[in-house]
């Protein structure tokens, strides 16, 4: 330990030579009183105890040696490195020797009297602070402290009075008016009534330490606190007995911005966003940090639910103003999750994790909003995890079934096609897609699920054809499934395997599916090139753009059931549906009216010129065997008809 310190201490060789030159027994000892170097007057070997005990030695300045008889005077040389000077207490050691000893090296050496006036100093004062020996002599050393430093003197004097020593670090004014930070080891020698000190310039050391600290605690890009600092502040707030609240802010669609404008613009945007968020978190107890990527966190050290909600609303409000980046005006949206500590809920990681989960939930609910993490959400999250795990197992086993709902000709009700709808048989329950599709979507299971449904649907189509009742089958595909690079291949292979003509397969998509990913449109064209037909599902909800009817590669439009349900009572809906049917007819598109439940609805659809319908009035979704039985029943059999007309 001692050896290490000595090896790194640059001033030690100088002290060694001074010790060697002293005309009296003198030695350097470590903080345990063990001899490190000594002059020829001392017979003790290096490594052996010379004086004891050192703590006492330094405070008293005078102790008996390890041999129990010799009296040593001990002074700190470099307390940081644990080096002390021990000389025998003899009159002729003289202050001049001590001064000579301390005149070397870069450390400040001072002896001052009880009133604080300097009696002795070394050359380092000139080197480090720019004062000549004469200027320092008689100086009240306290006058060199910054005017606003009122505490140091009080503390030092108190420590010297009670402990006989002090180790303060304070700024000292140089002759040129600038300041240096000096760490002092002072001890008050009661025997002579003087204070004896050695000081070391630690300005650079501190600057470096501060810079290291800054780097370790802040996020380079935004200058905000980083995740580690944030967690520390959160833990501190919890330990101090506050009930902190955490806001987790997740930027919506940042990837799109990054991909389209480039990373430099993305960085610039994050920095601008960080500055705006930081400006919001101005109260004394709040901390705004960048969690990483496009995620930010805000801590309200004392945050009630109301306060957190107010902060979330304020943040969403602040984002309504656009950002100006790369010559563009960008409007950002964030999803915000809120979580807060309660008396029995005080784990910082968990609080942060829950805020994250709540933000995710906000995103799920449609972005640009906030969600508070509560018991309900915890239950929902737990349930979602359970469902996800069970769904993975279901995909491997045979719990997933494909039911088919007939599409019928109007009037008459002859079955012309069937929509494949996924079902999940868990125990005795048969779950509809509403219970698990969003989980599948989030867990990235849609491509697997899609492959399964497509293959079963095509198999069913092939079976119907084999049994003499060919009809088309439709499958619903989402963006997640349509962006799979091999989706067209998978469908083509399945068609080939079951020997179903591509014409008998219809892929149902929604307008939002096409809009959500660039890759969807080319895929639709490829599918159409194969001969597969495309249906625009749920028309009348969402975008309902007539332009889409013209621009998208579609063959069929399915009018949403919400439209159909209004037909009977609402004249406007009736008029619109009538026009839509005409328009589609003129464009050569087939139209299926979905969700027909009553004969009245069917009658209106027919009156408006609708020729195809689907709904509980005609048939509910059913397993393939039931459909086969239905369409091959002698009475149920109709004229062979595979076209939509």
Residues lying near ligand C2E in the complex (CB under 6 A) are found at: 405, 421-422, 432-434, 437, 453, 476-478, 508, 537-538, 561, 594-597, 614-616, 621
Q: How far is the CB of 595 from ligand C2E (least distance, A)?
A: 4
Does residue number 510 form part of the binding site for Mg ion (CB under 5 A)?
Answer: no
Does residue number 538 form part of the binding site for Mg ion (CB under 5 A)?
Answer: yes
Does residue number 513 form part of the binding site for Mg ion (CB under 5 A)?
Answer: no
Cβ atoms of residues 351 and 340 within 8 Å: yes
Cβ atoms of residues 538 and 560 within 8 Å: yes
Q: Which stretch binds Mg ion (CB under 5 A): 31-39, 131-139, 167-175, 471-479?
A: 471-479
Q: How far is the CB of 518 from ligand C2E (least distance, A)?
A: 19
Q: How far is the CB of 246 from Mg ion (least distance, A)?
A: 40
Cβ atoms of residues 561 and 615 within 8 Å: yes
Q: How far is the CB of 625 from ligand C2E (least distance, A)?
A: 18
Which 8-state DSSP code applies to residue 38?
E
Q: Say if strands 472-476 and 505-509 run parallel, antiparallel, or are unpaired.
A: parallel
Does residue number 537 form part of the binding site for Mg ion (CB under 5 A)?
Answer: yes
Binding partner selected for residue 25 from Mg ion, ligand C2E, none, CB under the kind-specific 5 to 8 Å limit: none
Binding partner selected for residue 432 from ligand C2E, Mg ion, none, CB under the kind-specific 5 to 8 Å limit: ligand C2E
Q: How far is the CB of 471 from ligand C2E (least distance, A)?
A: 17
Binding partner selected for residue 621 from Mg ion, ligand C2E, none, CB under the kind-specific 5 to 8 Å limit: ligand C2E
- Pick from 448, 455, 508, 511: which binds Mg ion (CB under 5 A)? 508
Measured over the CA atoms of residue 475, residue 478, residue 484 and residue 488, the dihedral's sign is positive
Q: How far is the CB of 498 from ligand C2E (least distance, A)?
A: 17
Does residue number 356 form part of the binding site for Mg ion (CB under 5 A)?
Answer: no
Binding partner selected for residue 341 from Mg ion, ligand C2E, none, CB under the kind-specific 5 to 8 Å limit: none
Pick from 430, 529, 519, 431: which is nearest to 477 by CA? 519
Residue number with CB closer to Mg ion (78 or 537): 537
- CA–CA dist 447, 451 (Å, integer): 6
Binding partner selected for residue 422 from ligand C2E, Mg ion, none, CB under the kind-specific 5 to 8 Å limit: ligand C2E
Cβ neighbours, 10 Å, residue 499:
11
Binding partner selected for residue 478 from ligand C2E, Mg ion, none, CB under the kind-specific 5 to 8 Å limit: ligand C2E
Binding partner selected for residue 243 from Mg ion, ligand C2E, none, CB under the kind-specific 5 to 8 Å limit: none
Q: Which stretch binds Mg ion (CB under 5 A): 253-261, 273-281, 377-385, 535-543?
A: 535-543
Residue number with CB closer to ligand C2E (76 or 615): 615
- The alpha carbons of the chain give a radius of gyration, in whole angstroms, of 42
Q: How far is the CB of 255 from Mg ion (least distance, A)?
A: 29
* Helix (H/G/I), strand (E/B), else coil: 628: helix
Packing angle of the helix pair 624-632, 446-466 (nearest 10 deg): 20
Q: Which stretch binds Mg ion (CB under 5 A): 205-213, 365-373, 512-520, 536-544?
A: 536-544
Binding partner selected for residue 477 from Mg ion, ligand C2E, none, CB under the kind-specific 5 to 8 Å limit: ligand C2E
Q: Which residues of 44-67 are buried (b: 16+ CB within 10 A; e: fewer)?
A: beeeebbbbebebbbbbbebbbbe
Q: How far is the CB of 233 from ligand C2E (least distance, A)?
A: 44
Residues 567-606 that bind Mg ion (CB under 5 A): 594
Q: How far is the CB of 557 from Mg ion (least distance, A)?
A: 11
Residue number with CB closer to ligand C2E (11 or 459): 459
What are the φ/ψ torsions at residue 283 (nearest 5 degrees)? -65, 155
Residue number with CB closer to ligand C2E (83 or 505): 505
Cβ atoms of residues 368 and 315 within 8 Å: no
Residue number with CB closer to Mg ion (63 or 589): 589
Q: How far is the CB of 350 from Mg ion (least distance, A)?
A: 41
Helix %, strand %, coil % of the chain (to 5): 45, 25, 30
Cβ neighbours, 10 Å, residue 188:
21
Instruction: Match 């060694």 to its residue by tokens.
Output: 16
Residue number with CB closer to ligand C2E (370 or 436): 436
Q: How far is the CB of 297 from ligand C2E (least distance, A)?
A: 35
Binding partner selected for residue 453 from Mg ion, ligand C2E, none, CB under the kind-specific 5 to 8 Å limit: ligand C2E
Q: Say if strands 612-613 and 400-409 run parallel, antiparallel, or are unpaired.
A: antiparallel
Instruction: For 447-494, give the DSSP string.
Output: HHHHHHHHHHHHHHHHHHHHTT---EEEEE--HHHHTSTTHHHHHHHH
Residue number with CB closer to ligand C2E (197 or 595): 595
Burial of residue 325 (CB within 10 Å: 0-12, 13-18, 19+) is buried
Q: How far is the CB of 479 from Mg ion (least distance, A)?
A: 14
- CA–CA dist 348, 77 (Å, integer): 46
Residue number with CB closer to ligand C2E (139 or 475): 475
Does residue number 481 form part of the binding site for Mg ion (CB under 5 A)?
Answer: no
Q: How far is the CB of 404 from ligand C2E (least distance, A)?
A: 10
Residue number with CB closer to Mg ion (217 or 541): 541
Does residue number 476 form part of the binding site for Mg ion (CB under 5 A)?
Answer: yes
- Structure token digits, residue 438: 């969003």
Give whole-number Cα distances, 337 to 82, 221, 277, 311, 395, in Å.
Answer: 52, 23, 15, 11, 32
Cβ atoms of residues 29 and 53 within 8 Å: no
Q: Which stretch binds Mg ion (CB under 5 A): 29-37, 153-161, 308-316, 468-476?
A: 468-476
* Helix (H/G/I), strand (E/B), else coil: 9: coil
Cβ atoms of residues 615 and 578 within 8 Å: no
Q: Which stretch binds Mg ion (CB under 5 A): 21-29, 182-190, 252-260, 534-542?
A: 534-542
Binding partner selected for residue 615 from ligand C2E, Mg ion, none, CB under the kind-specific 5 to 8 Å limit: ligand C2E
* Helix (H/G/I), strand (E/B), else coil: 245: strand
CA dihedral 443, 446, 447, 453 (to 10 degrees): 140
Cβ neighbours, 10 Å, residue 551:
11
Residue number with CB closer to Mg ion (358 or 454): 454
Q: How far is the CB of 275 from ligand C2E (least distance, A)?
A: 42
Binding partner selected for residue 588 from ligand C2E, Mg ion, none, CB under the kind-specific 5 to 8 Å limit: none
Binding partner selected for residue 405 from ligand C2E, Mg ion, none, CB under the kind-specific 5 to 8 Å limit: ligand C2E
Binding partner selected for residue 434 from Mg ion, ligand C2E, none, CB under the kind-specific 5 to 8 Å limit: ligand C2E
- CA–CA dist 495, 483 (Å, integer): 19
- CA–CA dist 217, 211 (Å, integer): 10
Q: Binding residues for Mg ion, per CB under 5 A? A: 476, 508, 537-538, 594
């Amino acid at each position: 330990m001692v050896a290490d310190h000595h090896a790194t201490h640059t001033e030690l060789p100088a002290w060694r030579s001074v010790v060697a030159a002293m005309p009296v027994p003198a030695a350097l000892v470590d903080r345990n009183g063990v001899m490190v170097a000594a002059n020829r007057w001392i017979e003790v070997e290096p490594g052996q105890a010379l004086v004891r005990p050192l703590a006492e030695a330094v405070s008293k300045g005078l102790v008996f040696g390890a041999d129990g008889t010799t009296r040593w005077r001990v002074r700190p040389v470099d307390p940081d490195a644990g080096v002390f000077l021990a000389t025998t207490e003899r009159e002729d050691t003289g202050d001049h020797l001590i001064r000579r000893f301390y005149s070397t090296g870069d450390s400040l050496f001072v002896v001052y009297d009880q009133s604080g006036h300097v009696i002795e100093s070394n050359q380092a004062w000139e080197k480090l602070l720019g004062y000549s020996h004469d200027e320092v002599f008689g100086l009240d050393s306290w006058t060199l402290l910054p005017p606003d430093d009122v505490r140091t003197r009080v503390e030092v004097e108190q420590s010297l009075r009670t402990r006989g020593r002090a180790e303060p670090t304070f700024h000292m004014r140089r002759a040129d008016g600038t300041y240096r930070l000096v760490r002092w080891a002072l001890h008050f020698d009661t025997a002579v009534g003087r204070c004896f000190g050695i000081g070391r310039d630690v300005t650079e050391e501190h600057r470096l330490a501060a810079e290291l600290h800054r780097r370790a605690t802040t996020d380079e890009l935004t200058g905000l606190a980083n995740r580690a600092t944030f967690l520390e502040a959160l833990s501190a707030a919890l330990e101090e007995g506050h009930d902190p609240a955490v806001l987790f802010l997740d930027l919506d669609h940042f990837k799109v911005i990054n991909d389209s404008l480039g990373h430099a613009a993305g960085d610039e945007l994050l920095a601008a966003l960080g500055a705006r968020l930081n400006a919001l978190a101005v109260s004394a107890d709040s901390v705004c940090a960048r969690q990483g990527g496009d995620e930010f966190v805000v801590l309200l050290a004392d945050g009630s639910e109301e306060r957190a909600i107010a902060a979330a609303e304020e943040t969403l409000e602040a984002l309504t103003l656009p950002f100006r980046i790369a010559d563009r005006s960008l409007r950002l949206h964030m999803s915000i999750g809120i979580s807060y500590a309660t008396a029995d809920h005080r784990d910082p990681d968990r609080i942060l994790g829950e805020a994250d989960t709540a933000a995710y939930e906000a995103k799920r609910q449609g972005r640009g909003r906030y969600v508070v993490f509560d018991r309900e959400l915890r239950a929902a999250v737990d349930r979602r995890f359970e469902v996800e795990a069970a769904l993975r197992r279901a995909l491997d086993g045979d719990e997933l079934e494909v039911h088919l709902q007939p599409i019928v000709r109007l009037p008459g009700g002859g079955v012309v096609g069937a929509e494949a709808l996924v079902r999940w048989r868990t125990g005795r329950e048969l779950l509809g897609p509403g219970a698990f599709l969003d989980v599948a979507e989030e867990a990235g299971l849609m491509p697997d699920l899609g492959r399964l449904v497509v293959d079963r649907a095509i198999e069913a189509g092939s079976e119907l054809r084999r049994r003499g009742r060919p009809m088309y089958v439709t499958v619903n595909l989402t963006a997640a499934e349509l962006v799979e690079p091999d989706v067209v291949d998978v469908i083509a292979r399945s068609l080939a395997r079951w020997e179903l003509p591509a014409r008998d397969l219809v892929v149902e998509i929604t307008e939002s599916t096409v809009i959500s990913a660039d890759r969807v449109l080319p895929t639709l064209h490829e599918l159409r090139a194969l001969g597969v037909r495309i249906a625009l599902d749920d028309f009348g909800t969402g975008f309902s753009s007539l332009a889409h009817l013209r621009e998208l590669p579609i063959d069929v439009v399915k009018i949403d059931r919400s439209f159909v349900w209004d037909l009977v009572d609402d004249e406007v809906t009736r008029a619109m549906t009538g026009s839509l049917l005409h328009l589609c007819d003129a464009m050569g598109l087939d139209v299926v009216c979905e969700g027909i439940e009553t004969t009245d609805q069917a009658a209106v659809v027919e009156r408006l010129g609708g020729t195809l319908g689907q709904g509980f009035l005609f048939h509910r979704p059913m397993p393939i065997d039931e459909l086969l039985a239905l369409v091959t029943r002698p009475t149920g059999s109709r004229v062979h008809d595979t076209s939509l007309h």
